[in-house]
Structure formats: C-alpha cells, structure tokens
Chains A and B, each alone.
Chain A
Amino acid sequence: MLPTELCCVMGYLSFITTKSKQFQAIRRSPLSILITTKSATDLEKPRSNSIAMAMAIKLSLLLLVFSCSLIPTFSLFEDQVGFMDWHQRYIGKVKDAVFHTQKAGRKRVVVSTEENVIASLDLRRGEIFWRHVLGANDVVDKIDIALGKYVITLSSEGSILRAWNLPDGQMVWESSLSGSKSSKAFLTIPANLKLDLDSPIFVYGGTCLYAISSIDGEILWKKDFIPEGIDVHQLILSEGSNVIHATGVSDSSEFNTYEIDVKNGAVLNHAKTSFPRGIFGEILQISSDKSVALDSSQSTLVLISIINKQIHLQETHVSNLIHGVSSNTIILPSKLSGIFSLSTDTFIAFIKLTDEGKLHVMEKFDKKVVVSDALPLSENEQAFALVEHGDSNIHLSVRLVHDMSSNHLKETVKMDHERGFVEKIFINNYVRTDRSHGFRALIVMEDHSLLLLQQGEIVWSRDDGLASIIDVTTSELPVEKIGVSVAKVEDSLFEWLKGHMLKLKGTLMLATPDEITAIQKIRLQSSQKSKMTRDHNGFRRLLIVLTKSGKLFALHSGDGHIVWSTLLQSLRQSPQCPNPTALKLHPWQIPHHHALDHNPSVLVVGRCGLSLSSPSTLTIIDAYTGNAVRNVGPTHSTVQVLSLPFSDSEEQQLHLLIDDEKRAHLYPRSREAVEIFEKESQNVYWYSVEADVGILKGYGVKNRCDGDEFCFEARNLWSVVFPSESEKIISTVTRKGNEVVHTQAKVIADEDVMYKYISKNILFVATVSPKASGPIGSTTPDESVLVVHLVDTVTGRILHRMTHLGSQGPVHAVLSENWVVYHYFNLRAHRYEMSVIEIYDQSRAENKDVLKLIVGKHNLTTPVSSYSRPEVSTKSQSYFFTHSVKAISVTSTAKGITSKHLLIGTIGDQVLALDKRFVDPRRSLNPTQAEKEEGLLPLTDTLPIIPQSYVTHAFKVEGLRGIETIPAKLESTTLVFTYGVDLFFTRLAPSRTYDSLTEDFNYALLLLTIVALVVAIFVTWVLSERKDLQEKWR
C-alpha cells in the first residue's frame, strides 16, 4: 500500500514544483543529477578522458539542452525582483554644488561630480531626486541655477550648454556652442538682469563669449576673442550695470580688459597693459573692480584694478607679505569678496585688501584647512565656512568675510577616521526658529563621500566613492560557529513556521492583500540573505572593491550593505607618496585547510605617482575586519602583478610584481616562498604588451638580482613585432585565471569527438590599421582592417591570425575555454558585429580510436608542453549585433559543467545575457536532425536580443564599466556583479537551477501534504477494517 502513496507524494511534489516555476520537473529529475555528479567526479582526473566519458557528457549535455528548452531566458516574475538581486545608485565625487532652498517646498542641492553626473539630492535625507550621467567624454565644467527653475550645466570644455527642469530633471533645452579652440569655460548667470523679458546667461568657452537666452537656449550674441588672441580668465558682471568685464591674457603677456555691452556684445572699451612675466594659474576676482593673480614665478602677487577704464597693476612680493614663505604658492579659488586665501607648502593665509589698496595678512592656518565660497547673508554681509581637522573630529566655523575674528558658528563634529580629510565644503544658510542665521554645510571627504552637517551633527552621508570602482575581488565569509542558544532556535523556528504558513496561504490563494505584502517582505528581507556566515550554496560572499579614492569596501553579496570600509594609509597623500593611485586588488590568502587559523586577506597594489617608474606600495588587508595586516613600501615600481598558482604553508598566494626594468619581485618575502618559486621558476613565463610601439614580448626567469634574494632578472624569450604602418594594438584579452573547464572533448553531431585546445596561456590580440584607430566613421572601409591574433604567451607562437576587411574597433572581447568572442564595427555593413573563434586541438584528434584507448596507446594522460608544435584547427563565424557594447564577460560556474552565457554590457547601461550557443561557429543554415539534437541552432545573420534576457531587468547600471562573474558553490549558479556609477548584483543560473529547489519552495506545504496523506491512509485503513468487519458479521 505504501509505495503507491509515496508515488502520490512524488507526483504532488512534481506538481508543486511545476507550478512554482516552469519546467522544473525536468530539471529535478534524478537522472540529470546522477549524470552531472558522475561527470563532476570525473573532473578529478581530467586527462583520463575516454569515449565512455564523452558519451556521458554528451548525454548530460543533451539533457541540459533538453532542459534548457529552446530559448533560455531569465525572465523573472514581478515579485522576484529584489529577491536575489540588488541595485545601488551613486553619483561620484562631488566637485560643485548649488543649493536650492529658498521658496522651495522640497529643499534640494544640485551637484555635479567627477563621474560627469549631475544630480538633484534631497537635502533632508540625501536621496537622489533625479540624476543624469553625461558620459565619459562630456566633462561637466560648471553648474548653476537660472530663473529659479532651471539647472544650467556647461560641459565639454564649454561647448555644450543644457538646461534641466529643476523639479523633475527633464531637459528643457540644449545649445551647442562651437568654439574654435579649446579654452577654459565660465558660466555667469546674472541675478537681476532683464533684456526684453529675457534673462541672458553669459558663457565663455572655446575662446568665445556668448549671451544665451535662459528661456530657450538661443544664442543672443557672440563675441569671438580669437582675432585678438586672448584667453579670457574671468568674467565680471557688476550688479545693476549693463556692462560685462572680461579680463584676459594675450599670448604676448598683456593684460586685456574689455567692457562689453550685455545687450548686443559690442565692445565699449578695451584697455591693455603689458605684463611680460606672464601669470600663473587663474585670475581671482576679489571685488567689483579688483582682481588678483600670481606671476609665472609664483613669487609675486599682482593686484589688477580697473580705474577710469584703465588697468593698473600693483605688484607685491609674497615674501614681503608673509615672512619665511616657501615655494609652491597658489591662490585658492574660493570666492570671498575683499579677501583671498593664499596656499603655500606649509600653511594657508587669508589676505585682505584694504580700502587704500594695501594687502594685509589677516590670519594664518596650517595646511589642513578648507574654505568655502562666500555666502551672502544680507546686503553687505557675507559669510564663509572654514573646516579644521582635529584628531577624530572636525571643527566647522562660519565667519563673516569682513570680520574674520567673528565666529558666527562654531561646531565640532565627530568624524569617522576612515573618511579621511575634508576636501571641499559648500555652505548654505537657513533661518532658525529664533530668526537667527543657521548654516548647513555639505562636505566632500577624502574617500569621496558626501556628508551634510547641521547643528553639529551628520544629518546624512553618502558613500559615493563606490561610484568609481577600480578592481573587484571576492572573499568567503566566516564559517558558522556551532553552539547557538536554544531560545534563538525556538524563536526562529516559530518565525520559520509562521513564514511558511503565510506562504502556504499565499500558494492556496487564501491570503489577504496585507498578508501578501507581508509574504513579499519576508522574502525580500530574509535574514538568511544578509547573514555574516558562509552558506552551503556559496551565494553569500564578501565583494571587496577598491575605489579610486584609495578606499577599500567590503560589500555583502546578499543585500549590498557595507560590512567594513577602510581608507588605505598607503594610498593617502604623504611626502613619500605624493600622487598615490590605486592599481590592483588580488586575493592574497585563501584559507582552505586552516580555515580557522587565518582570515582570508587581499593584496592592494598602489603607485606613488603618475609615471610607470614611480615607486609602488603594497598593503595586505584582512578580508573579515578590514585591518591592514602588513604594509610594504614605497618600494620598487610595479608595472604588472602576476598571481602565481602556488601558495606557501600559510596558504598565501605567491605573487610576482614586475617592475619597469623587467625585474620580477617575489611576494611574500619569505624563505619558503623563494624555495617554492625556485622549484617552479623554470615553468614561469609572462609577457608584456607594449601597445604604443606594437610589440609583444615574452619573458622567463633568468637568475637572482644582485643583493636581493626576492628579486629575479628576466630574460626575453620571444617577441612579436607588429609593423607600425599596418597594425596598431587596440585590445588584448586573456582567459580568467580561475576559470574551470569541465571537459576537453566536445561531442559533435555525427558521433565524432573534437578536442578543445585548452591553454591558460592564450592571448587574444586585436590590431587595426593605424588610420582606423580613430572613432567610427573617420576612415573609409578600404583603409580600415581589423586583424585578430591568438598568441601562445609561453612560446610567442601565433596560433591563429585572421583579417576582417573593412572593420574597425573599438574591440571588446572575452576569452573562455577554447573560444573567443569579440565585438567590433563592420564599416561595409554599417553594423556592429560579433565574431567567434573556436580553437581545437588536432594532436589529440586520433584518440577517437577505441582500441587504442583500451590498449592505452593514447596521449591523453601525457602532460602537455607548449613547446610541442601546436596542431590546431579553428572555426569561426560572424554575426551582426545591434548594440554597441561597453563590456563583455562570461558566466563562470564552480565546475564548468553548466552551459555558458555571454554577459554583454550594452550602451543602454544594461546587462544582456546571450546564450553562447547563439555564437556557435558551427551553426548552419539547415542543421541536420543530429545537429538539432545536439542543440545547434539554425544559422541567422543577426544575434537575437530577447527582452526577457536582460539580467538587469528594470534597472540601469549607469556608466557601466565592468562585469565580474563569481562562481557559487552550487554548480548551476553564478554570481554577477556589475559596476559603473551604479552597482548591481544578481544571481544567474544559465541552465536554470537544475541542482536545487528554488528558495521560495514551500516546505510547509509539502510537510502538510505528507501529514494529510498519512492521516488519510490511517483513516481509510480504519474505515476499510471496520467495513471488512461488518461484511464478515453479515
């Protein structure tokens, strides 16, 4: 009796699963699991391939293909959004801010950032009202607000002026200002100037001065300064006058001042004075008719005053003004009327211009002071903010411009040490409840975060450093500790049951709308997701990201919250390290065996300076706490960082850092590491790409350097020289180091086996003819040739070389297993194309012979040497692809069994998943029955873009720069982290989750069903017994 009941349960199980997601019954069939586990065990001895295994693979492949059905999509249900993905929006480091608080219902601040974002932020909470990313080439120069309702942005060196509607961020108008020469860009929006019901905006850019209508963006008049050969440094528009003053410097070092009529651009007056020494930096306006500048030697201050339409220059030596002044004097660009600030190596001095025209030093501060622009409080009162640094706090003071000693406001704010120093401050005032002036300050910190200070507190903060990620790596979370209290278990058990009862109600459609929202909430905020311990499936991980500011963040993959963040001391500005830049992030220690002894750690490599030969710094950071374990440097320069596949007894990964003199430095610097390395040094090779000269070079280890046992000299083993008249390197791609390939063999339709040419040392190089290296459309198809090469980086052999006529870059490529897919532009077809090259090993092709395999006369178990003559064959095919592409990546899984998807970062800042089968070179117009069974699709000229296969679904990852894939422990699943200005994380199952139940699988319902069935069995059993008894009694 029981087996039938069980069958019933099984049937019900499959019914539930089918209901919860489509086609899962097939996926979870025990057969497919059996086969996949079989092939997984085969992985241990990958070289012992045999036909039998190939058959098994074929079977499993077939099954996979079968289970994938024809068109695999990731389409989510609406309620699954946010269940395993998260999206975070950032803006980047703020460089300019304009407050909009007067007469506005919603207090907001409009900011422009170094990521070329303009955004309107809520001043109360710091949230983004609206945001626009202008793109990498459209640098925002200036922003301002016009007419109280438009945000005006000037970008691309003063050549594009746009107006955005302040409440909703819609673009109102855009004007293109075609200047003749690149120059500085200024934007002046007069407050109360009216010209025939219009308020003009004055823009200087491309050596032209424009007056532009703020209503529709039309150019009212234009004045070109090119004939005069003058570079304008400032525009002054006095309050209430109809004259605009433009002060500039001509090539022959003359000061020029123009008085220009605001109505028609006519020059009313032109004055000039010669100043042969030339000026350094900018001219700063300090009052309506006076400006100050530094001469080119940075030692003399020049006070420029315009009296009776004549320029008067007054020179003051800086050392006369401030005694014991050192070099590197600059005028800080803070606009304070009547005073200006001068920065030297050691301190900042505030200098006042007295009514008599004398300069007078008011106050000196040490270097760590940041000053804001002046903020008008009333008719003749102006205030500015000044920030000084304490130990673990900052002192904010607001002072009146005319009275430096007055402290309008003095606040001390406790500041997190990990945010570094204040870099910029913007202030805004408001009227307090007692009618006095209150101030709020927006500060930009060293780690690019943005904070709002008010009443001595941090009202909100944004970690906008995350908008400029340089490198990403991941780390496992700590193993769960045993010994949890009973009460906690009971509580969670109750919660668990409650949750499942709710879900059960939902499944049976008995839930009220309130309960449905509760279910959704439970699903999204499941504590499982953001737990700080390792999970069985490997979904929970720490994403460790290195940002441009030199701050390292650890994000939890469950919900994206920041677990820890640390501002690396080695990447902060210091006398030893004047211009630090973060370079690379590598996993340093990945504990397996001694998981409890050590925490995993990461290596951060930075460089102190802009040239390749500048010294570098190394820091090792504990991945669980964010503490620096070790700091090295500044030491030798670093051009390349190689992670070697060896680790020492503490499981520290061996790394080679190549300096600019081609010497290899071994890390960790220990005896043991050297011993390990020397044992293997004969098999260590690396290469360098010298893109500017068009040479690839390969190196091997030669001998130790003199006097340093951790340094090794390199020897040049090979070089590939691209002729400079016909080929220019534009892109190089290698395989990911941690990629796992499951099988070397590929079974094709006619029961034949092809062996993949799998080498970790393949380099894909794309070159174009020098004429075609410009943007698309700059050359004719006949002149542009794209050549792709597959190079073995151990021997420098070119394995394959192919020419695409009439094509040009930019080339984006991804190399995985034995194939490379690349994206480029076909000028003849006027379309983007994607091509695939698959490379197969012919030297193993004879291993199809069963008899040989039985006798053991096959070469599958012999180690492969790169020095053998490569016998390869390639297959390739090209397809049209509609989008232009920002990045390409490929899914990677733990054992490499699951089929692969290409992840394409499209121009619309979304990520598209494209099944690799679409870019199979073996697709033919009319596939045979056998080929169809294999899963080969009929040939089409274009790759399909299926809207459901956007993994980012409704979100956009603005300014997308990279897509990182991380294998989960579960074979079917891969984790995808996409970064740009925004961050997006999700979990993908390219062949669907064939190896696990979905997370929303209702265990309670299953349990209940089983219980109900058991009860039913007993009830019917009792009833039938009773009936039998009655029958017998009759």
Chain B
Amino acid sequence: MKLTGALLLFSVALFVSSSSAFQSDELIVDDEQFDSGEVVSSLSPSISSSSRSPPKPVRKTSAEPDSDSRVQFALEHAFGDSDGFTVAGTFTARIKSHGGKRTLTKIRFSRNDLSTLEKEKFKKLLEDDEFYRIRVPSNVLNAPGKAYVISSVKARCLPNDGLDEHFIIHMEGVHILAVNYGSLRACQYNRPLRLPSKWTFNSHTVLKYSEYAPRTPIFSEHIIAGDMGDDEGVKPLERSFFAKYWMYLMPIVVIVFNAFTQSANMVDEQVAAPPQQAVRAVPHGQNGAVRRR
C-alpha cells in the first residue's frame, strides 16, 4: 500500500518535473517567437556564426547587387573604463520595407577573433571582476546616429566553456534603442573567477520590435445581448431576482400556506364546532383539577 503510494508520488513528481522542464524549454521558443516579431533569424544563424575564423567577409555588401537592402554595422567593445572602444565584429542584416516603414530582419553576426592583447585584457577584466562594455550605433543606416547605444556586463558572467554572449537588440525601424547584452545563462552573484577553456565567443543574436498593446475590450450591454440571444439575456435577470429575494419570498409563501391551512381548518372547525363545545369544557375542568392538586 505504502509502496504504491510512494510510487504514485514519485511518478507525479516526475511528471511535474518533466512538465516544468518542458515548459521552460518552450518558453524560450515562445520568447524568441515574439522577440523576432517577423521573420528574424534568432538562434540558428548565431550558432552558425560562431567565430573561430578571422573576420571572414561573409557577404560583401558593396559587391552584391541588392546592396541597398543590406546593412552592416559594427559592434565595438572596450575592456574596462580607461580603454577606448575598438571594433569587435560586424552585424549584417537585411532591410525590409513594409508600407514605407523599414525594419531589419535576418540579422547575422560575425565576431573578430580576440587578439593576444585582447585576451590579456579580458583576463585582467576577469581577475578584477570588471565590466566588459560593448556599443553599437543608434542608427544602423547613418552610424552612429544620435549617440552610441552602450551596454555592459560583468566580464565574469560570460565565460562558460568558451565565452557565451547573447544580444537582444531592441529596434524601432532602423534605430537601435537598446541592447540587452549578457550570457544566456544565469549569472550567479558572488561571481567566481573562471577562465574559459576556449577564447572564442559563442554568439546569439535576437532582434526585438515593440509589441502592440492588447486593445481595450469594448463591449456594451446590447452587444452581449446580441451575442447571447435576446431570451437568454432576460433569463439570468429573472433567476437573479429569485436568488436575491428568496428570503423575502419564503416567509410570504409560508404565511400564505399557513393562512391557507388555517382557513381550511377554520372551515373544518366551523363545521364541527357546535357539538364540541360541551366536550371542550371537560378537559378545562380536568386541567384545573390537576393544577389545584
């Protein structure tokens, strides 16, 4: 008995755990779906663009015939505060015009390999628990636009096996609002010092456009009535009347019922009254006798 109970519990627990694991998996997918808004390459291209090779000119923008629909912009990085920004890689994306509004899709990222100096600098950052900073232009067509969009992360958050990085680029047309930059994993507080085994970046890039707010539900009584049908619109009202006033109705019913039975009794009494008068006097007398005693 106990054993089966335990088994049951275990299986339930298993189910719960597996379902929750599944759920979290699905959420990432979900995330990315509404992240990308339209057809946006999210995880797959970035995985392909892991960057061991030198800055390979993936597709030369100028050489291509549809160069007007392609755009490139640089990612720059800095090690610490005193260091200036240097080019770290290139984002390539396709511009899609949609009703006069231009948006970016199919973003790809190719990162330059870290030089020995940069590796040293990065190591220093890891040792000091300092910030690794990146920046991108705020306007991809007319870089840098109004200002650079800067983002930074504690360097110790990045190393895993290699160096994990995850970009969520918030866009408004061809403008970059902000970059959420960090690793894919959680970054535990009390960041322990951990050096990566490989000094290569494993990059993931997601483009994100604004969501649209759900519309305010507009409905008035007649719409509901129309949906549900007229007769149904009335019914709940009647029911609610009874539901509301049953306590008042009950006594009335009781009184009416009482009155009814009483009047019926009265009729009975009236019919049987004259002969009973003599009989009645006797018990009275008897009672009185009992009391007196």
Contacts and interface: CB of A to CB of B under 8 A. Distances in A.
Given A719-B147, A797-B178, A802 B20 contact: no
Interface in A854-902: 859, 862-865, 867-871, 873, 876-880
Interface string A914-931: 000000000001000000
Contacts of B24: 842, 845-846
Contacts of B31: 871
B182 A867 contact: yes
Contacts of B180: 795, 797-798, 869-870
B11 to A, nearest CB: 11
What are the nearest 8 A-B pairs in CB distance? A723-B175, A868-B186, A851-B13, A797-B180, A721-B138, A867-B187, A863-B189, A878-B216
B139 A723 contact: yes
Interface string B19-57: 011011001000100000000000000000000000000
B173 interface: yes
A732 to B, nearest CB: 15
A805 interface: yes
A721 B147 contact: yes
Contacts of A803: 210-213
Interface stretch (A18-26, A168-176, A710-718, A1008-1016): A710-718
B213 A867 contact: no
A727 to B, nearest CB: 7
Interface string A795-807: 1111011111100
A800 B170 CA distance: 10
A801 B16 contact: no
Nearest to B174: A723
B153 interface: yes
B21 A941 contact: no
A717 B150 contact: yes
Given A848-B20, A876-B213, 6 more contacts: A717-B131, A795-B182, A802-B212, A845-B24, A862-B189, A879-B216
B13 A878 contact: no
A864 B187 CA distance: 8
A787 interface: yes
Given A846-B24, A863-B190, A869-B182, A798 B177 contact: yes
A850 to B, nearest CB: 6
A941 B219 contact: yes
A718 B150 contact: yes
A460 interface: no
A844 B191 CA distance: 20
B240 to A, nearest CB: 14
12 contacts: A682-B129, A720-B149, A720-B177, A722-B177, A791-B178, A797-B168, A835-B213, A849-B17, A851-B16, A868-B182, A868-B185, A941-B218
A941 B220 CA distance: 8
A823 to B, nearest CB: 13
A776 interface: no
Given A726-B173, A868-B182, A702 B81 contact: yes
B17 A721 contact: no
B183 A869 contact: yes
Interface string B142-155: 00011111111110
Q: Is the interface of B mostly helix, strand, loop or mixed?
A: mixed
Nearest to A826: B216
Contact of B147 (A695, A862, A868): A695
Contact of B16 (A718, A722, A848, A862): A848
Contact of B151 (A682, A718, A723, A802): A718
A982 interface: no
Given A721-B146, A939-B217, A726 B189 contact: no
Interface residues of B, number: 59
Nearest to A850: B13
B160 to A, nearest CB: 13
Contacts of A682: 129
Given A851-B17, A865-B187, A869-B183, A700 B173 contact: no
B77 interface: no
A879 B212 CA distance: 15
A724 interface: yes
Interface of A: 682, 693-695, 700, 702, 715-724, 726-727, 787, 791, 795-798, 800-805, 826, 829, 833, 835, 842-843, 845-846, 848-852, 859, 862-865, 867-871, 873, 876-880, 925, 939-941
Given A721-B145, A803-B211, A865 B188 contact: yes
B35 to A, nearest CB: 11
Contacts, number: 171
B107 interface: no
A787 B217 contact: no
* Most B CB within 10 A of own CB, among A722, A727, A833, A876: A722
A715 to B, nearest CB: 5
A802 B210 contact: yes
B267 interface: no
B218 A829 contact: yes
A720 B147 CA distance: 9
Contacts of A842: 24, 27
B172 interface: yes
A722 B129 CA distance: 30
B153 A867 contact: yes
Contact of B20 (A846, A859, A864): A846
Interface string B185-228: 11111110000000000000000101111111111100000000
B213 A865 contact: no
A805 B177 CA distance: 19
B163 interface: no
* Most A CB within 10 A of own CB, among B146, B210, B213: B213
B111 interface: no
B95 interface: no
B133 interface: yes
A798 B173 contact: no
A801 B178 CA distance: 11
B176 interface: yes
Contacts of A864: 189
Contacts of A716: 150
* Most B CB within 10 A of own CB, among A695, A727, A804, A849: A849
A805 B150 contact: no
A796 B178 CA distance: 8
B149 A721 contact: yes
Given A720-B149, A868-B182, A869-B182, A849 B16 contact: yes
B157 interface: yes
Nearest to A791: B178
A868 B187 contact: yes
A796 B214 contact: no
A96 to B, nearest CB: 47
B166 interface: yes
Nearest to A837: B213
Nearest to A803: B210
B204 to A, nearest CB: 10
A871 B138 CA distance: 25
A779 B31 CA distance: 35
Contact of B210 (A694, A787, A850, A870): A787
Contact of A865 (B166, B189, B215): B189
B8 interface: no
B146 A693 contact: yes
Contacts of A718: 150-152, 178
Contacts of B253: none
Contacts of B184: 869
